[in-house]
Structure 1
Amino acid sequence: MKLKFQFTLAFILSLLSLICFSGMALLINGSKIVAFDRSIISLIQGFETPGLTTIMKCFTFIGSTPSVAVISLFSLFFLYKVLKHRAELILFIAIIVGSPILNELLKLLFHRARPDFHRLIEINGYSFPSGHAMSAFAVYGVLSFLLWRHISTRWGRTLLIVISTTMILAIGISRIYLGVHYPSDVIGGYFASGCWLAIAIWFYQRYQEKKVEQRDLLKVKNEYDDISTRK
Structure 2
Amino acid sequence: MKQTQTKLPVSLALLTCAVCALVFGLIALWVSDQQVRYFDLRIITAVHQLESPAMTRIMEFFTTIGSEVPVIIILVIAMIVLYRVLGHRRELLFLAIAVVGSVLLNTVLKMLFRRERPEINRIIEANGYSFPSGHSMTAFTMYVALTFLIWKHVPSRLGRILLVAVSALLIVTIGASRIYLGVHYPSDVLGGYFMSGSWMAACIWFYQRYEERMPPLRSKSTA
TM-score of the alignment, normalized to the shorter chain, above 0.5: yes
Corresponding residue for 1:166?
A: 169
Change (3 A) 1:182 1:3: closer
Partner Cα separation in structure 1 for residue 68 and residue 105 of structure 2: 14
Partner Cα separation in structure 1 for residue 30 and residue 181 of structure 2: 23
Corresponding residue for 2:94?
A: 91
- Alignment partner of 1:191 out of 190, 194, 197: 194
Q: Can you give the 5+ residue segments of structure 2 that lack an aligned partner in the other structure?
A: 217-223
Corresponding residue for 1:201?
A: 204
- Alignment partner of 2:64 out of 61, 65, 78: 61
Alignment RMSD:
1.7
Larger helix proportion, structure 1 or 2? 1
Deviation (angstroms), 1:3? 8.3
TM-score normalised over the length of structure 2: 0.92
Amino acid in structure 1 at the alignment position of 2:96: I
The one-character-per-residue Cα deviations of 1:134-170 (angstroms, maximum 9, x if unpaired) are 0000110100000111112110000000000000000
Partner Cα separation in structure 2 for residue 174 and residue 98 of structure 1: 23
Deviation (angstroms), 1:211? 2.8
Report matched runs for 1:27-176 at 5 Å: 27-176=30-179
Change (3 A) 1:186 1:159: same
Deviation (angstroms), 1:84? 2.0
The one-character-per-residue Cα deviations of 1:73-118 (angstroms, maximum 9, x if unpaired) are 0010111122221211111000111111100100000010100111
Could you say what secondary structure the match of 1:149 adopts? Answer: helix
Deviation (angstroms), 1:30? 1.0
Percent pairwise identity: 48
State how many pairs are aligned: 213
The one-character-per-residue Cα deviations of 1:13-48 (angstroms, maximum 9, x if unpaired) are 111110110010011011111111001111111100
Could you say what secondary structure the match of 2:9 adopts? Answer: helix
Partner Cα separation in structure 2 for residue 66 and residue 79 of structure 1: 20
8 Å CA contact 1:96, 1:139 repeated in 2: yes
Q: Can you give the 5+ residue segments of structure 1 that lack an aligned partner in the other structure?
A: 215-231
Partner Cα separation in structure 2 for residue 5 and residue 14 of structure 1: 12
Deviation (angstroms), 1:5? 4.6
8 Å CA contact 2:136, 2:175 repeated in 1: yes
8 Å CA contact 2:6, 2:151 repeated in 1: no
8 Å CA contact 2:6, 2:148 repeated in 1: no
Could you say what secondary structure the match of 2:34 adopts? Answer: coil
TM-score normalised over the length of structure 1: 0.88
- Alignment partner of 1:211 out of 208, 211, 214: 214
Deviation (angstroms), 1:6? 3.1
Partner Cα separation in structure 1 for residue 58 and residue 191 of structure 2: 23
Partner Cα separation in structure 1 for residue 160 and residue 86 of structure 2: 16
Change (3 A) 1:144 1:5: closer
8 Å CA contact 2:147, 2:167 repeated in 1: yes
8 Å CA contact 1:3, 1:205 repeated in 2: no
8 Å CA contact 2:136, 2:189 repeated in 1: yes
Q: Does 1:16 align with 2:19?
A: yes
